[in-house]
Structure 1
Amino acid sequence: MRSFRLFPRNLDKLESPTLVNADRASERNEMMKLALPIPFAPTTSNVIKSTSKFSVRISRRFFSAYAQKEQSQHKPGMVAKYYLPPWFSVAPMMDWTDNHYRTLARLISKHAWLYTEMLAAETIVHQKDNLDRFLAYSPDQHPIVLQIGGSNIQSLAKATEIANTYGYDEINLNCGCPSPKVAGHGCFGVSLMLNPKFVAEAMSAIAANTNVPVSVKCRIGVDDHDSYNELCDFIYQVSSVSPTKHFIIHSRKALLNGISPAENRSIPPLKYEFFYGLLRDFPDLTFTINGGITSVDEANAAREAGADGVMVGRAAYNNPWHILGHVDTAIYGTPSSGLTRRQVLEKYLVYGDSELGKYGRKPTLRDIVKPLLHLFHSEPGNGLWKRKADAAFRNCMTMESFFEETLVAIPDSVLDSPVAEPPPGRGDLFDNIHKLLPPPYRTIEEAILCA
């Protein structure tokens, strides 16, 4: 059985696009009419304005944060390109959101913002002769955010300067990872939330070494430092002293008393009311919600309740077709491409074979195929496909031979169908959230004046 049997179509041929509905088509047209030309270059970030019902406030902040600076640095001859705002992003996940996964994600969604897995600043600084292995990516992955971690301001500044040549659209500092290797011995990740003064200084140093926006990803608290006021103190100090205006908030606190990172994603309760309290108390900042959101319905519900953006992690990795496959239409209101899994695999085959062994013995076939193992989540043939994949890793040397051996397990009806209706989610997840908000935050200065 030859690969042309598995991939009979022209790689560039897609089914005719259809509009999701008239309202979203109209909204999209309005967005494009109001779009301002923003210069595009490897070191710039570009965003479109929107008149969406729920995004007027959002787009104003995002446009200011992501585009204004770049407009002033326009150079003749640059090609204009537009990115839609980060209303939906895929969370940075160690060992998961690598170059291979991001390639797959971008084939499925053109507009979701992609984050790298966290890269330690020290790694970037000390790998000057091997940077491509850590920082290189296809231009198709834009818009893309580099997440870095570290506890040394000089290293964070130097790593940012080095990364500039790779043209990321934003630099994000990890202040949320609860792994003992990071938050314990490494003294960074979520441990940084206990030292907002350092974070503010670090973000100032990062911003001083890049021309793109900077952001912080954090939790709502650490151990017993979990009150709403302590969270607000962190946000206030970092945003007041540094240029940081965008915060991604994982709506759980972190426990550093010996539980695992996996348990830190489930044992501490979600407190979405803290996130929405931040929106109320810091109207001039931008906040993206993260944690516990597993469907496009829930993402839209979060935005309708006021969130500036939504970040989804493991759901987007474990079920990429049914999550990312709806982002462009349901979140951004763009026409459906009619893309099929077969077409995605055709393009991923070309990418995979070009990457095999690029850095000596790495990446391996298993490394490149890893993100694909969730592409047929809950579909007929999924179990058999995974078993065949496990066997194929032992003897296949190319992506083509791997697909020949394994895709016989997947019915043509699955390979050739465009993404179906999105799986139902908890659309009412945030219906009563504004009744649960904590008391309004007052800065230390305000509290003294009112005492």
Structure 2
Amino acid sequence: MKLATCSYSSSPTSVTLARPRFSFNIFQLSSSSSSSSSSTAARQPRPAMVSARNYAHAHYLPPWFSVAPMMEWTDVHYRTMARLISKHAWLYTEMLAAETIVYQKDNLDRFLYFPPEQHPIVLQIGGSNLENLAKATQLANIYKYDEINFNCGCPSPRVAGHGCFGARLMLDPKFVAEAMSVIAANTDVPVSVKCRIGVDDHDSYNELCDFIYKVSSQSPTRHFIIHSRKAMLNGISPAENRSIPPLKYEYFYGLLRDFPDLRFTINGGINTIDEVNAARKAGAHGVMVGRAAFNNSWNTLGHVDTAIYGAPSSGVTRRQLLKEFEAYGETVLGKYGQKPNVRDVAKPLLSLFYAQPGNSLWKRKADAAFMHCTTMKSFFEETLVAIPDFVLDAPVGAPPSGSNDPFSNIHTLLPPPYESREQELQYA
């Protein structure tokens, strides 16, 4: 199936750049463990059989839990805070258009730099021009991301409409396979695709399987992150696309059954650690959490290392986290002229006291402080008086309870097994 409104470049570029090692060390983490217990590991679902290329980052624990890439949210400042809370969660950048990387090649730190403590970290890129995807991948290599993910799921009109990429690319799996081959040819780290379960009226299970089959059989892609809602590109907003199309987890678990040689991460509608563990118990290789990891960061990320990876608790408190974050913030304020400012750096902290005493007052004080504070120290001095000491000095508490297990009967709801139309798809 072809897209009438998009014009793709089809001339792959394969150039390898030298990849020097960074020596930045902005701040130190206080987490105390780097491996899960053997008893916990024994309970984890068996990993998919994938090529050695996809285990190039074996010195990190597997991506059983990851934070979704979110535009204007998962920036370097959010990821700094997230890593102070969880040592093992996999972090994703915001989606970066390949054209942005290429056209900003003399200003790349502003878009691609991250402190080395943020590993393991995945760069998500988007685009519909093969030459620019190749160049962007080459330029990103120097920053030593642990994986490169290609966006085939964003429903924003700016991306899927005028940009001709994001979710719209699911309608052209042949191009996605070409794009993934180009990206893989220009990096030595694993590559993956993030997509929806369908687009508009192209939302059958067989059509999803056709997409997965064609991309995986014609490119090195072995890892797919599946947002378990379809994208609706006509008439609803990106926010509505996260709630109006129904979740169809049965499609995701059907993929696990029908593509046992691939690796799948589930995304969409999963908000608590209990639900993460339920999804993995049902067989998901990994779970990606979005808004809950931003809007309730302390209670979501704070249990990842212990409840998912089996690591001892770091015992870190919010006060300790903020001290580390203050040191980080002072090093980056005004790094690019007037940006970032205190508001930019402190934005992810506004969810740190979710549902805690003093939270509303803290946010009001923060709004006022953003108007005149020029240092992180002055910002914290002016705002943290709103938060009681017992909140600042308490470690992460018990995990919040999830809903009833949404995956308990999922294997009774699976669609009929996929029968690939191999010859037809090969020439489509």
On whether the aligned pair clears a TM of 0.5, the verdict is yes
2:201 partner SS: coil
2:193 partner SS: strand
1:246 and 2:236 matched: no
1:325 and 2:302 matched: yes
The residue aligned with 1:209 is 186
2:142 partner SS: helix
* 1:37-436 superposed matches below 5 A: 51-55=41-45, 57-58=46-47, 61=49, 64-67=52-55, 82-436=59-413
- What amino acid is the match of 1:27? S
- What amino acid is the match of 2:250? E
Q: CA deviation digits over 1:310-355, x for unaligned, max 9?
A: 0000000000000000000000000011110001000000000111
Structure 1 contact 288–309 (Cα < 8 Å) conserved? yes
Unpaired runs of at least 5, structure 1: 1-10, 19-23, 29-50, 71-80
Structure 2 contact 159–165 (Cα < 8 Å) conserved? yes
| CA distance in structure 1 between the partners assigned to 2:28 and 2:197 by the alignment | 45
Structure 1 contact 301–427 (Cα < 8 Å) conserved? no
The residue aligned with 2:13 is none
The residue aligned with 2:39 is 27
| CA distance in structure 2 between the partners assigned to 1:62 and 1:25 by the alignment | 24
Instruction: Go from structure 1 to structure 2 and tell me whether the alpha carbon gap of 1:400 and 1:430 turns closer, same or farther (over 3 Å shift).
Output: same
TM-score by length of 2: 0.90
Structure 2 contact 49–260 (Cα < 8 Å) conserved? no
- What amino acid is the match of 1:104? M
Structure 2 contact 29–84 (Cα < 8 Å) conserved? no
Q: CA deviation digits over 1:259-312, x for unaligned, max 9?
A: 000000000000000000000000000000000000000000000000000000
The residue aligned with 2:7 is none
Q: CA deviation digits over 1:353-403, x for unaligned, max 9?
A: 111000011101100010000000000000000011111112211000000
- What amino acid is the match of 2:363? K
- TM-superposed CA distance for 1:25, in Å, is 4.0
| CA distance in structure 2 between the partners assigned to 1:65 and 1:426 by the alignment | 37
Counting matched residue pairs gives 397
Q: Quote the sequence identity (%).
A: 73
Q: Which has the higher helix share?
A: 1
- The more displaced of 418-427 and 101-110 is 418-427
| CA distance in structure 2 between the partners assigned to 1:389 and 1:245 by the alignment | 44
- TM-superposed CA distance for 1:179, in Å, is 0.2
Q: CA deviation digits over 1:13-37, x for unaligned, max 9?
A: 969x79xxxxx74426xxxxxxxxx
Q: What is the RMSD of the two structures over their aligned residues, measured on CA atoms?
A: 1.9
Structure 1 contact 319–374 (Cα < 8 Å) conserved? yes
| CA distance in structure 1 between the partners assigned to 2:272 and 2:358 by the alignment | 23
| CA distance in structure 1 between the partners assigned to 2:400 and 2:111 by the alignment | 34
1:429 partner SS: coil
Structure 1 contact 87–310 (Cα < 8 Å) conserved? yes
Structure 2 contact 228–251 (Cα < 8 Å) conserved? yes
| CA distance in structure 2 between the partners assigned to 1:385 and 1:345 by the alignment | 14
| CA distance in structure 1 between the partners assigned to 2:220 and 2:29 by the alignment | 44
